[in-house]
Amino acid sequence: MTAATDPGRPDSDEPGDRRQPQDAPGAGDRLVHRPLPVRLLRRPELGAVVGALALFVFFAFVADSFLRASSLSTVLYFSSTIGIMAVPVALLMIGGEFDLSTGVMVTSSALISSMFSYQMTANTWVGVGVSLLVTLGIGFFNGFMLTRTGLPSFIITLATFLMLTGLNLGLTKVISGTVTTKTISDMEGFETARAVFASTLTLGSVHIQITVVWWLLLVAVATWILLRTSAGNWIFAVGGGVDAARAVGVPVARTKIGLYLGVAFAAWVSGQHLLFNYDTVQSGEGVGNELIYIAAAVIGGCLLTGGYGSAIGAAVGAFIFGMANKGIIYAQWNPDWFKFFLGAMLLLATLLNAWIRKRAEATR
């Protein structure tokens, strides 16, 4: 962390007549940092990290093939497909809002890209660009409606979710004649787009899907925004106390719309991956994923009421999903139990988070 205080340094940002009173000399060196364990206990993602470690050790014991490099890269890949969405969803939740339209928005983004390129016989990159604009437009619609109407985001995005679900199926049938888009793998620009959105990087004997790179990059950027920029300060504030934030001049509407645009951007990345990984897109896909993203964010320490959470936590939450999903297969259990397992994980993680937070408050 920063702010190692230097008592010798003059406070250049203080006007001369605002010196500290005589009875409290050298205030700077009394500004202490709490010991490391206490600081760790305060991190929102602690519960998720403990849970992820426990799960990792567990599967390492019960599933022989779990620790193989190929298995781990599969786990990472699956985690990344959830994590790319879970991270901006976590930011949105810290900002005090929900988005139920994320799952189908990913599908919409893929469909737009694919169908635009195919119907216009354009370079696939044109479709990719159009898809970015339209997806950001959907995100803007969510944010704009929310800030304009003052309705709960649950209702607004539920409406968007239903409309997009219908549009995905309806428009795809009208345009393509079936519920699946035509393959675009023989079109111009497909190979380069695939390299960006759906390629595999080989490091020695380890194969890493490029989505893992996008995921980690997104976590880094989101963490930077949240912890080190003014926008991050505003995100915490609009989620933790919107009236107080507005009163000190935080642009509340702009912050919330920005968060929805962030979610839309991630949906675009996910959608393009979906498209260039499989060539074709099933128009009915994505329903239900929105809850997985929210669950990952909550496991990662986000409060449902807003104002608290972390991007790293959401990434760890996604990793827990990845481990559970693939670990069950490596342990050769019946995958039917996956959802039950996830539900139990969610409950446990949330209880653990609540307990840790209470302990952390008590140490003050």
CA 73 to chain CA centroid, nearest Å:
20
Smaller CB separation from another protein, 24 or 203: 24
Binder of another protein out of 8, 13, 150, 204 (CB under 8 A): 13
Encoded tokens for 327: 């670990």
Residue 43 binds another protein, judged by CB under 8 A: no
Instruction: Name residues contacting another protein, limited to 304-333 (CB under 8 A).
Output: 307-308
Smaller CB separation from another protein, 239 or 327: 239
Stretch that binds another protein, among 18-26, 45-53, 65-73, 140-148 (CB under 8 A): 18-26
Cβ of residue 308: shortest distance to another protein, in angstroms? 5
Instruction: Name residues contacting another protein, limited to 134-173 (CB under 8 A).
Output: none
What does the alpha-carbon distance between residue 326 and residue 73 come to, in Å, rounded to a whole number? 11
Smaller CB separation from another protein, 18 or 358: 18
Residue 41 binds another protein, judged by CB under 8 A: no
Smaller CB separation from another protein, 329 or 360: 360
| E strand or H helix at 108 | helix 102-120
What does the alpha-carbon distance between residue 270 and residue 230 come to, in Å, rounded to a whole number? 27
Stretch that binds another protein, among 57-65, 115-123, 241-249, 276-284 (CB under 8 A): 241-249
What does the alpha-carbon distance between residue 166 and residue 89 come to, in Å, rounded to a whole number? 23
Cβ of residue 364: shortest distance to another protein, in angstroms? 6
Residue 36 binds another protein, judged by CB under 8 A: no
Spatial neighbors of 296 by CB under 8 A, at least 6 apart, are 82, 83, 86, 89, 90, 314, 317, 318, 320, 321
Spatial neighbors of 185 by CB under 8 A, at least 6 apart, are 279
Helix (H, G, I), strand (E, B) or coil at 200: strand
| Amino acid, single-letter form, for residue 48 | A
Stretch that binds another protein, among 10-18, 156-164, 203-211, 266-274 (CB under 8 A): 10-18
What does the alpha-carbon distance between residue 130 and residue 103 come to, in Å, rounded to a whole number? 19
Encoded tokens for 143: 């944010």
Stretch that binds another protein, among 30-38, 85-93, 164-172, 271-279 (CB under 8 A): 30-38
What does the alpha-carbon distance between residue 315 and residue 166 come to, in Å, rounded to a whole number? 30
Smaller CB separation from another protein, 33 or 148: 33
What does the alpha-carbon distance between residue 106 and residue 285 come to, in Å, rounded to a whole number? 9
Task: Please calculate the CA angle 67-71-74 and round it to the nearest 5 degrees.
Answer: 140
Residue 240 binds another protein, judged by CB under 8 A: yes
Helix (H, G, I), strand (E, B) or coil at 96: coil
Binder of another protein out of 8, 16, 22, 24 (CB under 8 A): 24
CA 138 to chain CA centroid, nearest Å:
17
Smaller CB separation from another protein, 27 or 53: 27
Cβ of residue 180: shortest distance to another protein, in angstroms? 39
Instruction: Name residues contacting another protein, limited to 245-264 (CB under 8 A).
Output: 245-251
Residue 22 binds another protein, judged by CB under 8 A: no
Encoded tokens for 122: 């354009």
Residue 363 binds another protein, judged by CB under 8 A: no
CB atoms within 10 A of CB 303: 20
Cβ of residue 42: shortest distance to another protein, in angstroms? 8
Give residues in contact with another protein (CB under 8 A).
2-5, 11, 13-14, 18, 20-21, 24, 27-28, 30-34, 42, 224, 228-230, 232-234, 236-237, 240-241, 243-251, 307-308, 361, 364
